[in-house]
């Protein structure tokens, strides 16, 4: 294209474009025939769009119900680059192209880019964006631990971070993956970072999931750090509520999740004087010990015999970690802000054998799930089945990219990326949940029609050969209830990553759209292994509707 633009053929030895040639080259480079076709249709081939023409486009093509001619005049003023066209209230083709790639025309429904859901229901009614072993930057065995990992997760809207706490030197508790060679960071430094970044992305509560392996002395140090650093922001009532509070009630609060002494023991003067009463285990989970070794087993036995729960640290707990005893035995009692932690294989087995039991259990108790300890490479499991089972806190390794994290970020882009998504009605009652299991007809079922039109300037995949031209295709995946899982692929466009045009139509029948995510992924077709180029994930119910595809 550059050679073709050099119409005057410079005689100085090198191809050279003058000003006029460069402008022509730029216009050819950014040519979009499919957009020009659309532009010609709504401009009636008169060479410009009036506010009335633009309104017709928004109503008929984009399904914008609330658009007015005045709005269209304002958009012309914003996106039209030529001053004279602005004055005449006309939009050129370049202005129209700028408009189509602007945030106002994003595939993600603009109303869902802010908090729009009811935030006053109990926390058990929400999915919560959650990170596993948040401190790790790489693998689970010898990788570095970094404070920055907490900052990154919180800035992405994560509302539940994990801290594995162990005794450190000089009386300072440390965070690291116990019984491994991962590096250690001070508990104090992480708490300071959380204080500074907790509410940058969202005002809703942040949960600190504590895996506590500290001695009573260093537990007290942790309690002092928590209370001094967070002050009034720390949610630590004397008596936990009889039912879970709402995200709205706990706005800008830090909630520490962990084991908590019974109320009568917390008030006991005997305990405070250091009685030998067995206060119980301090942690109900330990993923590191799921990969046993002789050293780990010895350390585990040592810890098991000597650890007790400190009264002061117990007082800092705002969400009580309890042991899962079965779907038919949910926690009871006057203090009922509870959470159970289930490893990947455990929750998968439960969802396979008793999905109704798990969904019902999650209506009164928070369920946190986390990757198996055998995932030493920090890989992730598919979070979708856990969400479809009603599990609220589905923790993933944020440091590891890939499909699973794409799905998490896509799901929590909804509701203003605040980290809390209200669970749909189909998870609220046993009768409604039958639809998720494929045992009934959903009142919200839909037929989703998609037309894949074109691509533009698609990048080459990493490590591609120099000079190689890609053969792109698009794959569309639906993730959600098992009955809705499906995918489609476009044709492969040979040797054209610059401006491939597909114009292919697809139809998806979706029974439970409120639980469904759609993923668009571009690949370069290869003989042995298709190379990944890029993706976009969003909830089905956050798709901005366009012109009907028949």
Q: Which positions are annotated as active-site residues?
A: 132, 177
State how far the alpha carbon of 101 is from the alpha carbons of 80, 104, 171, 310, 519, in Å.
Answer: 13, 8, 56, 57, 19
Tell me how far apart the alpha carbons of residues 484 and 539 are, in angstroms, rounded to a whole number.
13
Cα 117 versus chain centre, distance: 17
Give the β-pairing of 517-524 and 130-131: unpaired
Instruction: Tell me 366's DSSP state.
Output: E
Can you tell me whether residue 465 is helix, strand or coil?
coil
- Determine the Cα–Cα distance for residues 361 and 277; give it in Å rounded to an integer: 32
Cα 391 to Cα 208, 327, 365, distances in angstroms:
18, 13, 9
C-alpha 421/C-alpha 307 separation (Å) is 37
Per DSSP bridges, beta strands 185-186 and 130-131 are unpaired
Q: CA 133 to CA 162: how far, in whole Å?
A: 5
159 backbone φψ class: left, alpha, beta (φ>0; ψ -120 to 50): alpha
User: At residue 505, what are phi and psi to the nearest 5 degrees?
Assistant: -110, 140
Asked if 214 and 167 touch (Cβ cutoff 8 Å), the reply is yes
- Rounded CA-CA distance 530/387 in Å is 29
Tracing tokens 């490479």 back to the chain, one arrives at 377
Terminal-residue alpha carbon distance, the chain: 37
What is the C-alpha to C-alpha distance for residues 60 and 162, in angstroms, rounded to an integer? 49
Contacts of 58 (CB under 8 A, 6+ apart): 64, 67, 72
DSSP codes, 249-318 = TTTT-EEEEE----HHHHT-HHHHTT-------S-S--GGGGS--HHHHHHHHHHHHH----HHHHHT-S
- The residue among 301, 311, 302 whose CA lies nearest residue 277 is 311
List CB contacts of 514: < 8 A, sequence separation 6 or more: 424, 425, 426, 444, 540, 541
Rounded CA separation 408/371 (Å): 14
Burial pattern 462-494, b for ≥16 Cβ within 10 A else e, equals eebeeeeebbbbbbbbbbbbebbeeebbbebbe
CA distance 242 to 260: 15
């Amino acid at each position: 294209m550059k050679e073709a633009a050099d119409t005057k053929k410079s005689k100085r030895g090198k191809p050279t474009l003058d000003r006029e040639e460069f402008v022509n080259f730029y216009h050819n480079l950014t040519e979009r025939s499919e957009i020009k076709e659309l532009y010609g249709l709504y401009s009636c081939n008169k060479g410009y769009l009036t506010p009335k023409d633009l309104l017709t486009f928004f109503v008929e093509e984009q399904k914008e119900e609330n658009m007015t001619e005045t709005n269209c005049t304002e958009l012309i003023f914003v996106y039209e680059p030529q001053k004279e066209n602005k004055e005449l209230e006309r939009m050129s083709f370049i202005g129209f192209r700028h408009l189509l790639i602007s945030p106002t025309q994003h595939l993600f429904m603009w109303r869902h880019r802010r908090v729009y859901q009811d935030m006053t229901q109990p926390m058990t009614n929400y999915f919560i964006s959650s990170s596993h072993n948040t401190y790790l930057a790489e693998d689970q065995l010898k990788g570095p631990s970094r404070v920055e990992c907490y900052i990154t997760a919180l800035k992405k809207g994560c509302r539940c971070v994990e801290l594995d706490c162990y005794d450190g030197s000089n009386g300072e508790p440390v965070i690291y993956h116990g019984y491994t060679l991962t590096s250690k960071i001070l508990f104090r430094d992480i708490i300071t970072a959380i204080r500074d970044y907790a509410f940058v992305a969202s005002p809703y509560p942040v949960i600190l999931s504590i895996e506590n392996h500290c001695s009573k002395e260093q537990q007290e140090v942790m309690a002092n750090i928590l209370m001094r650093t967070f002050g009034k922001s720390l949610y630590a009532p004397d008596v936990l509520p009889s039912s879970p509070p709402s995200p709205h009630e706990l706005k800008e609060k830090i909630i520490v999740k962990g084991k908590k002494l019974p109320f009568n023991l917390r008030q006991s003067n005997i305990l405070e004087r250091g009685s030998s009463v067995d206060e119980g285990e301090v942690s109900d989970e330990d993923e590191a010990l799921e990969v046993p070794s002789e050293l780990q087993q010895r350390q585990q036995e040592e810890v098991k015999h000597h650890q007790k729960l400190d009264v002061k640290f117990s007082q800092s707990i705002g969400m009580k970690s309890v042991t899962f005893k079965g779907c038919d035995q949910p926690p009871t009692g006057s203090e009922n802000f509870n959470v159970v932690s289930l490893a990947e294989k455990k929750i998968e087995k439960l969802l396979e054998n008793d999905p109704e039991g798990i969904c019902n259990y999650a209506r009164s108790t928070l369920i946190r799930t986390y990757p198996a300890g055998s995932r030493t490479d920090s890989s992730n499991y598919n979070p979708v089945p856990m969400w479809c089972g009603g599990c609220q806190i589905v923790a993933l390794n944020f440091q590891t990219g890939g499909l699973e994290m794409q799905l998490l970020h896509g799901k929590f882009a909804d509701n203003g990326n605040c980290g809390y998504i209200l669970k749909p009605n189909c998870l609220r009652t046993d009768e409604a949940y039958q639809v998720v299991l494929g045992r009934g007809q959903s009142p919200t079922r839909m037929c989703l029609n998609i037309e894949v039109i074109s691509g533009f300037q698609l990048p080459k995949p990493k490590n591609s050969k120099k000079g190689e031209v890609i053969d792109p295709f698009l794959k569309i995946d639906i993730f959600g209830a098992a009955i809705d899982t499906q995918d489609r692929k476009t044709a492969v466009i040979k040797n054209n990553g610059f401006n491939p045009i597909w114009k292919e139509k697809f139809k998806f029948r979706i029974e439970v759209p409120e639980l469904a995510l759609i993923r668009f992924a571009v690949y370069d077709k290869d003989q042995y292994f298709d190379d990944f180029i890029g993706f976009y994930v969003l909830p089905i119910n956050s798709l901005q509707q366009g012109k009907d595809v028949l």
